[in-house]
Amino acid sequence: MTLIFIVGFVLLLAFFLLSSDGTRRARKNLEQIRSGWGKPKNEPFHFEGIGTYAGVVHDQPFHRLSEQTLNDLDFQNLFRFLDRTIGKVGQQFLYKKLMEPSDRTSDPSQPLITLLTEDRELREAVQMQLIQLNHPDAYHIPALLQDKLLESPSWLKFLKFDILVVVLLLPVSFKFPVFSIALLLIFAFNLLLHYWNKTNSYPFLRSFPQLNTLVNVARVLSKMEKLPADKAVEWGIDELRPFQRKLNLLNFDNKGGIKGEIEQVMMYLVEMLKGFLLIEVFTLFRLTKELESRQASIIMLFNYVGHIDACISVASLRAGELKTCLPELTDGGEGMILKNIYHPLIEDCVTNDLNITEKSILITGSNMSGKSTFLRTLCINSVLAQTIYTCFGELFVSPVLKQYSSIRIDDDLFEGKSYYFEEVRIMGTLIAEVETPFQNLFVLDEVFKGTNTVERIASAKAILSYLNRKNNIAIVATHDIELSDMLKDEYELYHFTEMIEEEELIFDHKIKPGPLKTRNAIRLLELSNYPAEIIREAKEILQGGKKFL
């Protein structure tokens, strides 16, 4: 009786400790969720893992941003600010979503975003589920979407004969001990094969348990009454039930923690039995083959859970301190109305307005005046308008566009590429999009600055006229004032300028209509205390008093 009491007390104590630990963990997670609402994350971003889903799933989106455009927009830093997801699945889903602007004129996710914004209790209940997928190993789930997970060896079919021999030898060896020698040899062989197979299973040590968690999270979310129901999700969960059952046969939950002596003995006995009967070998190959035929279900659940997490992320972004607006998208036309738009990564960024009617835009101005920042601001907001339907500004009206840019070009001398040849290559990709049936936004900074002035201006004029064909919208910044006269009938002229006050150069970073009329380059040399001889000669050349040889 005393023994029963002790055992009962120990079990009750263990249950209490486990419950208390779970309660503390849940309370900590909830505090983390609430404190992070409306704020950027303060954690490392592992983009190799974050980009895995976008790299593996090759569907056919309306548009996918090029590597050049991603580089121009400083996409990784932009993502660091935008990402407010809870789990790694949602983070990977959002990353892919931001790379692929949609052709929809309205956001199909808006009702769900509104619901999750207004119903805090529901949102936090969902977030408490999503946080289960915040383990770094969840980055490996997309690895299960590759074409071939694990090639079955040709000798696998002969192992069935191996097990048959074991089954036959077991009863015989009790009556005829001599057969025990053969049984021991087979046991040793099977055990070696069992541990060799561990190396095959290692890549799945991370992905299988997380896929199991994904299925469980999707199951809970699909049963929440207030969330939109989806029969396809239920189908995907049912399709992956056999995977969850087979997963229990593989020792993926052994974290290598400290175990009691009895538990360790039991674990070794189970491991020996698995090795003797090759349970893990057969299960692993059967499981990977099965998952290859159920990849549509994995994608279905990944997108379902990722979409909900991404909606919460958008809601959190809009609840932040920075002013945002919902874009107004149209099916066509050259008009864009931008009011008080700004760059979200620049603290206290100056806002700007722009009204584009029938012509593209040519912007002139000196260095540091704000041209490049404005180009990035416009392109970023255009991308966000068609991905998360959230812009940084007061008003953003635009047709549905495909965004292309050439703002920052790297000169990779180690690969033997000159700056000019890289410019030619990138410009060629933009030119190829002009005659497609879609309307494009071309954002360019300094066309062909890697070559001489005369040929640069001639080539730039011809290219900019070509890009302006059909309903395409080109937003171009240049130092070459000569282009203003050449393109004045095709492009509206705008400029950024600076002022000199009390021997200081001051930039207001505001875009203004009309061509640039002031030149302050030589004056800046004076303010920088260059020798008077240099300043004098520069002015003489500018005034035509001295000719270049």
Q: What is the pLDDT of residues 429-455, one digit of tens each?
A: 999 999 899 999 999 998 887 677 788
Instruction: Tally DSSP H helices, then E strands, for the chain.
Output: 22, 12
Residue 460: inside a domain? yes
Domain count, the chain: 3
The answer to whether residues 500 and 368 belong to one domain is yes
Residue 465: inside a domain? yes
- 288 compared with 166, residue with greater pLDDT: 288
The answer to whether residues 477 and 335 belong to one domain is yes
> Residue 475 carries which side chain, given as an amino acid letter?
I
The answer to whether residues 471 and 455 belong to one domain is yes
Residue 415: inside a domain? yes
Residue 186: inside a domain? yes
Residue 72: inside a domain? no
What are 148-155's contacts with CB under 8 Å, separation 24+?
A: 148/292, 149/288, 149/289, 149/291, 149/292, 150/200, 150/284, 150/285, 150/288, 150/289, 152/285, 152/289
Average pLDDT, the chain: 84
| Total-model pTM | 0.84
**Which structural domain, as residue segments, surrounds residue 523?**
519-549
Residue 313: inside a domain? no
CATH, residue 423? 3.40.50.300
The answer to whether residues 505 and 536 belong to one domain is no
Side-chain-side CA neighbours of 504 within 13 Å: the count stands at 5
Query: Which pair of structure tokens corresponds to residue 70?
Result: 């991603």
The answer to whether residues 219 and 346 belong to one domain is no
Task: Work out the pLDDT band at 332, boundaries 50, 70, 90.
Answer: confident
Indicate whether 177 pLDDT > 80: no
Strands of the sheet containing 352-356, edge to edge, are 328-330, 395-399, 336-341, 352-356
**Mean pLDDT on 174-193:** 72
Most confident of 62-66, 171-175, 275-279: 62-66
The answer to whether residues 352 and 484 belong to one domain is yes
- The predicted pLDDT at position 189 comes to 73
Which of 322-336, 370-384, 407-421, 442-456 has the lowest average pLDDT?
407-421
The answer to whether residues 262 and 281 belong to one domain is yes
Task: Work out the pLDDT band at 9, boundaries 50, 70, 90.
Answer: low
Residue 458: inside a domain? yes
The answer to whether residues 506 and 369 belong to one domain is yes
The answer to whether residues 379 and 247 belong to one domain is no
Query: Which pair of structure tokens corresponds to residue 302?
Result: 């990944």
User: What CA–CA distance (Å, rounded) separates 210 from 197?
Assistant: 21
Quickly count: other Cβ atoms within 10 Å of residue 339's Cβ.
Answer: 15
Residue 24: inside a domain? no
The answer to whether residues 261 and 401 belong to one domain is no
The answer to whether residues 426 and 456 belong to one domain is yes
pLDDT above 90: percentage of residues in the chain: 51
User: What CA–CA distance (Å, rounded) separates 445 from 479?
Assistant: 9
The answer to whether residues 243 and 356 belong to one domain is no
